[in-house]
């Protein structure tokens, strides 16, 4: 049986997810959504994504952090597991917890996971704004994915942009 995970990402209208190894927007409700969904689960990310997390939050608390890197002799936090591939990361995650792991980025990691059918669900925060950036989320293929839930949030005094939480499930 092929091991799979879920993707979670915040994506601009033009598919941008980051710039200069950093987030471009600050949406407290999106950060809370991320925490709620991933708490108690393993989180799988590329090394640059791990490096982009502010040091005081590394590793992400309440989750087993697994970093995918071709350089397997990395010296990160002692609680962080290193995997040579996303498949190996999914295997490590299955040994850590019965919860389905979350793939949290970056762009190349998302692309690989989708290209190799390693994902069953995607929790995407669609930000209703375009941004300049250098890291992108893959185009979501409506032939392969069904939108099964969404929740719209207009901009307010805490959130500079309108956004929609969306759940996509793999069509079988």
What would you report as the CA-atom Rg of the chain, rounded to the nearest whole angstrom?
15
Percent of the chain at pLDDT exceeding 90? 91
Environment class of residue 171 by beta-carbon count within 10 Å: exposed (0-12), middle (13-18) or buried (19+)?
exposed
CATH homologous superfamily, domain 5-170: Dihydrofolate Reductase, subunit A (3.40.430.10)
* pLDDT, tens only, 114-124: 999 999 999 99
Mean pLDDT over each residue of the chain, to the nearest integer: 96
**Residue 102's pLDDT is what?**
99
| Cα(20)–Cα(1) distance, integer angstroms | 37
| Cα(10)–Cα(165) distance, integer angstroms | 9
Three-state secondary structure call for residue 109: helix
**Residue 116's pLDDT is what?**
97
């Amino acid at each position: 049986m092929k091991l799979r995970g879920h993707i979670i990402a915040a994506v601009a209208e033009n598919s941008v997810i980051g710039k200069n190894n950093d987030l471009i927007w600050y949406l407290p409700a999106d950060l809370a959504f991320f925490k709620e969904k991933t708490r108690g689960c393993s989180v799988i990310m590329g090394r640059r994504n791990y490096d982009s997390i502010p040091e005081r939050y590394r590793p992400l608390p309440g989750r087993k952090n697994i970093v995918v890197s071709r350089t397997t002799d990395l010296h990160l936090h002692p609680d962080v597991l290193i995997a040579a591939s996303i498949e190996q990361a999914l295997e490590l995650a299955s040994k850590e917890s019965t919860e389905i792991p979350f793939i949290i980025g970056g762009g190349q990691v998302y692309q690989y996971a989708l290209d190799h059918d390693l994902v069953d669900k995607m929790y995407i925060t669609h930000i209703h704004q375009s941004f300049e950036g250098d890291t992108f989320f893959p185009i979501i293929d409506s032939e392969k994915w069904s939108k099964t839930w969404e929740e719209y949030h207009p901009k307010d005094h805490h959130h500079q942009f309108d956004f929609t939480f969306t759940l996509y499930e793999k069509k079988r």
